Structure 1
Amino acid sequence: MSFSLKRIFFAACLLFSFAMISQTADSIPRKKITIPRISEAPKIDGILDDAAWQNAPVATNFVERLPNNGRPIPDSLKTDVKIVYNDLGIYFGATMKDPEPNKILKELTERDNIGNDDFFFILLNGYNDRQQSLQFIVTAAGVQYDAKMTNDNEDNSWNGIWYSAVQITNEGWVAEIFIPYSEVRFPNKNIQEWGLNMEREFRRSRTRYSWSHIDNTKGSFSIYDGEIHGIKNIQAPLRLSFQPYVSAYVNNFDGDTQTTFNGGMDLKYGINDAFTLDMILIPDFGQSKFDNEVLNLSAFETQYEENRGFFTEGTELFTKGNLFYSRRVGGNPSVYPNISENEAVVNYPASVDLINAFKISGRTDGNLGLGIFNAVTEKTYANIKNNNTGEARQEVVEPLANYNILVLDQRFGDNSSVSFVNTNVIREGDFRDANASGLYLDLTNKNNTYNYFANVEGSWVKENATKFGMEGGAGFSKISGRNRISGEVNFRTAAYDINDMGYSSETNFIRYSAYYGYRYLQPKGNLNNLFLNFNLNYIRRLETDLYSNFLFNFNSSFTTKKFLGFGGGFEMTPFGTNDIYEPRVKERYVKVPEYYDIWAWFSTDYRKKLALDIKADWYKYNERGRDRLILEFGPKYRVSDKLKMFFNTDVTFSTNEEGFVSVVNETIIFGKRDRNTVVNTLESQYIFNNKMALNLSFRHYYSQVDYSQFFTLQNSGELVENTTYTENRNATYNSWNVDLRFSWWFAPGSQLTLLYRNAIESYIDKSGVSFSNNFNNLYNEPQLNSISLRVSYYLDYNSVKNWVGNSSKTKPLGFIDTKVN
């Protein structure tokens, strides 16, 4: 073990020991409410006139959380919430006063989006551990938003099945909500004690009020939960649901039209009160959002966000430690075919088909979280043709493969955990196999003022020989008060490789980081909030030792009392950089001169019909004529509560940048280039009501690269002019995508989506193309035109059982009337 790694190991042991000694239970006093069982369920219509509400206890005395933390809610905004329960679930009836009801903000959005809206928020924790909660939000427009929250990390991909209705009244507005027990995880006990907090957003003044006061001077949001008492002798229903789907596609590409029909099903089964099985059978991802493709000249692959629902919903356990990059499952094949000089690859698949996948996740009453993920992808071939004989053949580029994840996450105290994560990929035959494991410790002291963290990971890759690599780190942070500090050290060895199931870019480094931040805890003067942050990073190559970078960063953010946001910052590398990645060859590096970067941004009040975001960012290198300018311009216009438009333009002008070109006979070639990139995006939405929406998304990406000079990289990291390399490396790349989507949530959990898609891509090996010729080249490329229809229907076992077993015309148990105005 090197001297640096020994220091890291010793520091980690000290942090572990100190944090374990200091960890005790918190003593924050908790607000409580005791609720009664009702015999007759209220109708969910936003009118609290049912008998169930007459003698219901009231949660009141809300306290301002933002921006004036701790101030009592004014009488003009008095908020009262009645809560009751029965054998089916828990009911909330919130009455929110407003002195001017005609001015209540109620912008319509798609589900799981909040716009310029007043809203009512429920945070419910069946295990009462102040670490894992469910969010249920309904806006004044009747739009639902739900999410899972774990230690303030929000996963809004989760979609629960619950019921709500709202009414605007002469005194304000009312939200009525029913949450079935099937959506809440809680222990199998006769007497329940659940964690609860509730919030109200008063959008006109952008103030937030919570039932249980949340102290913003320290700790995390969830530790300030209150409690629900009085729930007794309830049983979680059998949690079994099916979501069958049918879909049809008509795709036209380069004159060839194909029609396909698909059918399959998602299954969700509650194994017990804590654990849930999610399974996808015959998956269909044809309507997933398109990737924002770019011309990538860097040393690392582009990391795209996940757009497939199965891989985004309920994955909070699997993202622990960042060992799982779900785009690997069903992503690019793992190898490229071997071909002779007379052969050409006719068709190389861009992705691998998924056969099926499942995940099991949940948490026990003892706060042990368990996650198991498995997916199987099918054998995939590339088509190869002999140019001399015309003979065609196939070669396997991805065998039958199995992807697995195991997560164990033990939580304790109010905000602490120790976790173990293992991922592995097993491929059939002699193809590459991989395994990665990580151990993580996250501890907060009893006063919620300091946090300590440490991690260590190992990766094993078997491909001909076995390769082993490591990653690790440790640090602490002060998480309370106006002044915040943190410090950490982390490292990765050169052989660290988690790219079979995760994403690892930079390796072979040791990094020392320090941070100081200052913030306003209450509005002051003309400002609602202020954040000042200072960061230092010192980085060295680990094997063999080499200075890499020293970076200083300052950034700031301000919000005025009129909700204008602005800020900026400054960054510099005063000693330059030894870039160990751009040469693409082990042990080599290139010297990059020091740079100075300054930026500023401005954002107007989003409550207004027209809002605007502007940013300018300028890098200046200590090299004549070398700089980079980035400009971003993003207006947003809300025509009405139903119609809105968003436009964004990003422009980057990079002059005389120096980057890798090629390796020729072990000589590393670099080039000096100008690169101009323009990205235009447009989105418009027309929301018919809280269940039906029309959405248009457009993106055009353009990037032009023009080389003026080539160099040979020396062993010293310097660049020497190369006049013998004459290959053309200029390029112009375009990517064009249009999605026109109609969505209709025609029943709880059930959706119809009609989608039209147009996509074009072009790449030419020249630069300096005029505007009109560029678009002529783009439109001359083959286009993808696709029309698809997908219908999925949510079936809950309990409802289906009641339908089948109920011979009368009365409504089955659990049926909820809903009405939304």
Structure 2
Amino acid sequence: MRISHALLLVALFPGVGVAQQLLAKGRAAPATSSVKTTRAVRATKPPVIDGKDTDDIWARAQKIDGFRMFDPVEDGEPSMATEARVAYDDRNLYVFVRAFDPHPDSIMALLSRRDERTQSDYIRLIVDSYHDKRTGYEFMVNPAGVQRDIYLYNDSNEDVTWNAVWDVKTAIDSLGWTAEFRIPLSQLRYPRKDEHTFGIGIHREIARLGERSSWPLWRRSQFGIASQLGELGGLAGISSPRRLELMPYTVQANDSRLRADGYGRAQRMALGADVKYGLSSNLTLDATINPDFGQVEADPGVLNLGAFEQFFEERRPFFLEGTGIFRYDIDCNDGQCTGPFYSRRIGRAPQAGFLSEDQNAVPLNSTILGAAKVTGRLSNGLSLGVLNAITGRESVAESLTVEPRTNYFVVRAQQDLRGGRSGVGAIFTAVNRELDGYTENYLRREAYTAGLDARHRFGPNSAYELSGQLYGSVVRGSEEAIARTQRSAVHFYQRPDDDLAYDPTRTSLSGVGSGLGLSKNGGLTRFWTGVWYKGPGLEINDVGFMSSANSMGQSNWFAFVLQRPKWFYRRWQVNFNQWNSWLADGMNTGHGGNINMNGQLRNMWFVYGGLGGEKGAYCGACLRGGPALWENHSVQGWAGFTGDQRRAVYPAFEAFFRRTDGGRSSSINLGPRVEGRFASSFSASLGVSFNRNIDDRQWLGNFGDVGSDTTHFTVARLDQKTVSVTTRINWTASPTLSLQVYAQPFVTGGEYSDWREVVAPRARGYDARFRPFTIEGEPGGFNFKQFRSNTVVRWEYRPGSTLFFVWAQGRVQDGLDAGSFRFNRDYRNLFGAHPDNTFLVKASYWFAM
């Protein structure tokens, strides 16, 4: 019987043998608080960066060994040895790493575009040049020579969009593989001193074993990354150069787009430049003039039927890089946080485009004339970020203004205290628009936001953190513009059943918000508990993102984090969530919770699942400014998995369901995906998303004057089907030459029926809330189709200098076959629609002075 059980485990978990070997080696050593140290030697002659240790300096440099495993076993003996050496001169930091491997032919070395992580072995070099134990620069490379660079801030947060110009060469030989780094000191920031001590850490990943080790040991059970680094001494006589980097670029594009007289083509050429200048040893200026982001991947397709604005992630390089320093999180959900600064407001689609009779003549985006930001960290522990951007006036037929000239300003400061274990911060934003007769009744003239925050870590290993924030806003404009603000989905001042007074004569609106939280990070058990408040008049959406104001609540999260491998898992986490929310006047808008878990099995599969729900509560936004509507209790669940990514082809799947309104409303989403790497340089993925949504009370329209007792607030039963297919193809000829293809057709169709108006919104009986609505005829339906694709060839023909060849295509069809969904017909019609094509060539040249 024992033999059969063992055979069953091996069959189900083919990686169990490897994991047992790692576990056997995981003999825990006593924890120690001493900081590991090493020294760099000065190089009189720069080493040749070729991935070999034949230069004299590597024979003289101090050897770093004693690496310890941190995954899957914390403080275990690594399966394979690793050694490193560090040297420097006036201009560069040099690091040589030898990763021993008895089976060099099994080393996983996959080609990909720079900054793309693959299932490969890796060496990661972390340098805390400030030696503040809060920040750092990460330089990664795999055996194929593919580079990644990351900025580390707040001790544990990683900004993967940070880019630097550095060099590394790798080699695979009979002993394993090597990586030889040359990090220009101009890419690091540090104060002026005669002698420096940097924080340093070196991590190694062995992909085929799922094993990671480091020097010094990084304990996953403790909070922080930068605070656990070792120390690198011996850095004497290095200057802090005022770096000047210029990257001029030119763009030549050919666009086809529908106009009033039919489809036409237009040629455009643009010149621009990016500038990076070291204002001091600690502060850097980044600026862009007339930027073009034609190489950036398009947003996924979506049809938003909800009350609130759709959130899209930032993808533009200038606004991505270094954004961590500007973070001031207000709303967070599953790792996605929003707050007073949302960089996609800069260069947004024209807000008054609806004024134009010819929608095809409205520009897709506002033109960014220029933007600049100053970021850095002073020697006293003050982190500073300042950003200013200007967008130009956008018009139709040179007369109708659809977006005014606008200035955006953001400043964020954070002061570390107690060696980074505590801190205080502030943020201020300002938006000023040059309005005219076309826009003054629709847009706010000026908007300001200010906030304070503080944090305090305490307890063993500083595992506990108390944090709080207080912020406020004020917006000003014409009576009509502020009235539109009050009626917007963020506020709904016109709701007839609350204490808020809708005042169409106001010319300003202000509000405050606050939050307080206590958390524990690290260890077997972790938690977060907090409360928040957002006043009815709070408005941050001119350069921030907030779905709704007028709310308050509390939430709790508690987790068991099991990081030591057991019989069926490598790591496992169980989460418990609970929340309550109310409107600011105390009306209950949600009491709910869930239990979910996720983990990695012994066979390297990642799995997750959860089940939760909410009790009956009021919905303040469901009727879009109408009275609060009682919602029945709901239940929802989700599950999914991702296969072993070491395999040439692996599957993934996700599923979600929700049921409410006593079974009258339900939603199910299925998302199978398959990913494959068919050669070391070629990979592809294909994912399908299917959604069936039945909403028995989908809002359909309000009829009547705002505030009138004859207003009809109506809903209907919606039966909607949505299918999207996402395809990605990646081919990498070398670490500097790659091809990427992204394509997504998106089709959704829905039919409305049983049109009703709300007569008793607070009734507990479902049917008692509604009665038939026949004034406007039949409710109808919709059918919306969209296709978006990007094909990008990227060639980094010299370090920092790139050439892009881009083909972007879009197709949209709206209204044909409204009220129905047929997969074959709709996809055939979508690809029969006339395409909008953009062909673009962008060339940039980087040089430093």
- Is this a same-fold pair by TM over 0.5? yes
- Cα deviation, 1:258-307, whole Å, max 9, x if unaligned, reads 11111111111000000011111122223322121311001111111222
Greater shift, 517-526 or 615-624, is seen at: 615-624
- 1:21 maps to which residue? none
Please list, as runs of the form range in 1=range in 2, the aligned pairs for 1:655-674 lying within 5 A after superposition. Answer: 655-665=694-704, 666-674=711-719
Equivalent-residue separation in structure 2 for 1:523 and 1:27 (angstroms): 22
Residue 233 of structure 1 is matched in structure 2 by: 237
Matched, 1:103 2:106: yes
Residues 223, 415 of structure 1: 8 Å contact kept: no
SS in 1 for 2:825: helix
Indicate whether 1:580 and 2:620 are aligned.
Answer: yes
Q: 1:441-468, CA deviations, whole angstroms, 9 ceiling, x for partnerless residues?
A: 1221153221111111101110231111
Q: Are the counterparts in 2 of residues 63 and 72 from structure 1 also a CA contact under 8 Å?
A: yes
Alignment of 1:97-246 (within 5 A): 97-151=100-154, 152-246=156-250
Counterpart of 1:303 in structure 2 is 311
Matches of 1:31 and 1:787 in 2, distance apart? 54
1:552 maps to which residue? 593
Task: Name whichever of 138-147 and 306-315 sits farther off.
Answer: 306-315
> Is residue 2:294 matched to residue 1:277?
no
- Rounded to whole Å, the distance in 2 between the matches of 1:262 and 1:116 is 39
Q: State the 1:435 CA deviation.
A: 0.5
Asked if residue 528 in structure 1 is aligned to residue 536 in structure 2, the reply is no
Taking a change above 3 Å as real, the CA distance of residues 546 and 352 of structure 1, as seen in their structure-2 partners, is same
Q: Distance in 1 between matches of 2:517 and 2:746?
A: 40
The one of 391, 401, 405 aligned to 1:400: 405
Which amino acid is 1:439 matched to?
L
SS in 2 for 1:774: helix
Aligned to 1:440: 453
Asked whether the equivalents of residues 391 and 407 of structure 2 are also in contact (C-alpha less than 8 Å), the reply is yes
Q: 1:452 aligns with which of 451, 466, 488?
A: 466
Give distance in 1, aligned partners of 2:559 and 2:272.
51
Q: What letter is aligned with 1:522?
A: R
| Counterpart code for 1:224 | Q
Q: Is the 8 A contact 1:359 1:372 kept in 2?
A: yes
User: Pairwise CA RMSD of aligned residues?
Assistant: 1.8
Report the secondary structure of 1:613's partner residue.
Answer: strand
Paired residues, number: 755
Q: Structure 2 vs 1, CA of residues 775 and 191 (structure 1 numbering), >3 Å: closer, same or farther?
A: same
* Bigger mean CA offset, 36-45 vs 218-227: 218-227
Q: Is the 8 A contact 2:391 2:406 kept in 1?
A: yes
Partner of 1:767: 819
For residue 174 of structure 1, report the CA deviation from its aligned partner.
0.5
Aligned to 1:471: 513
Equivalent of 2:787 in 728, 732, 736: 736
2:765 matched residue in structure 1: none
Q: Is the 1:158–1:314 Cα contact (8 Å) retained in structure 2? A: yes
Per-residue Cα deviation, 1:412-448 (whole angstroms, up to 9, x for no partner): 3244321101011011245521001111112211532
Residue 372 (structure 1) aligns with? 386
SS state of the match for residue 227, structure 2? helix
CA spacing shift, 1:110–1:645, aligned 2, 3 Å: same
Counterparts of 1:278-677 in structure 2 under 5 Å?
278-321=286-329, 322-335=339-352, 347-383=361-397, 394-412=399-417, 413-429=419-435, 431-445=444-458, 447=460, 448-464=462-478, 465-542=507-584, 544-573=585-614, 575-585=615-625, 588-665=627-704, 666-677=711-722
Match of 1:67 in 2: 72
741-750 or 161-170, larger mean C-alpha shift: 741-750
Alpha-carbon spacing, 1:337–1:97, altered in 2? closer, same or farther (3 Å): closer
Q: Deviation at 1:223?
A: 1.4
Shift of 1:673: 0.4
Q: 1:155 to 1:657 in 2, by over 3 A?
A: farther
What does 1:26-45 align with in structure 2 at a 5 Å threshold?
Answer: 28-45=33-50
Report the residue type matching 1:286 in the other structure.
G
The TM-score with structure 2 as length reference comes to 0.86
647-656 or 87-96, which deviates more: 647-656
Cα pair distance change 1:78/1:757, threshold 3 Å = same
Report the CA distance between 1:229 and its aligned residue: 0.5
Alpha-carbon contact 1:223-1:414 (below 8 Å) kept:
no
For the Cα contact (< 8 Å) 2:294–2:806, is it kept in 1?
A: no
Q: Secondary structure at the match of 1:623?
A: helix
Deviation at 1:94, TM superposition (A): 0.3
Deviations 1:653-697 (A, max 9, x none): 112442211111132111110111111100011111111111111
SS at match of 1:265: strand
* Distance across 1 between alignment mates of 2:834 and 2:341: 35
Separation in 1 of the partners of 2:320 and 2:39? 36
Q: Say if 1:44 and 1:164, in contact at 8 Å, map to a contact too.
A: yes
Instruction: Tell me what 1:16 maps to.
Output: none
* Range with bigger deviation, 327-336 or 508-517: 327-336
Any idea what SS the aligned residue of 2:784 has?
strand
Question: Partner of 1:19 in structure 2?
Answer: none
Question: Highest relative contact order (Cα 8 Å, sep 6+), 1 or 2?
Answer: 1
Quick one: distance in 1 between partners of 2:785 and 2:33? 56
Whole-angstrom CA distance in 2 between matches of 1:37 and 1:500: 52
Letter in 2 for 1:114: R
Cα distance in 1, alignment partners of residues 815 and 684 from structure 2: 33
1: distance between equivalents of 2:89 and 2:719? 68
Q: How much does 1:769 deviate?
A: 4.5
5+ residue gaps, structure 2: 1-30, 330-338, 479-506, 705-710, 763-768
SS at match of 1:754: strand
Q: Name the SS of the counterpart of 1:775 in structure 2.
A: helix
Whole-angstrom CA distance in 1 between matches of 2:413 and 2:116? 32
Counterpart contact for 1:506–1:581, Cα < 8 Å: no
Superposition pairs of residues 713-792 of structure 1, within 5 angstroms: 713-714=758-759, 716-717=761-762, 718-764=769-815, 766-792=818-844
SS at match of 2:186: helix
Q: CA deviation at 1:39?
A: 0.3
What CA distance in whole angstroms lies between the structure 1 residues aligned with 2:59 and 2:132? 31
CA distance in 2, matches of 1:124, 1:192: 12
Q: How far apart in 1 are the matches of 2:677 and 2:421? A: 40
Whether the aligned pair in 2 keeps the contact of 1:704 and 1:732 (CA below 8 Å) is yes
**Structure 1 position 397, deviation (Å):** 2.8
Structure 1, gaps ≥5 residues long: 1-25, 384-392, 798-821
Of the structure 1 ranges 214-223 and 493-502, higher mean CA displacement relative to structure 2 is found in: 214-223
Contact 1:337 1:396 (8 Å CA) reproduced: no
- Conserved 8 A contact 1:618-1:630: yes
Cα distance per residue 1:64-109 (max 9 Å; x no partner): 11110011224xx110001011111110000010010000000111
> How far apart in 2 are the matches of 1:33 and 1:243?
37
**Which amino acid is 1:775 matched to?**
Y
Distance 2:602 2:83 in 1: 28
Cα distance in structure 2, aligned partners of 1:509 and 1:281 = 40
Cα deviation, residue 349, structure 1:
3.2
SS of 1:786's partner is strand
Match of 1:701 in 2: 746
Deviates further, 501-510 or 167-176: 501-510
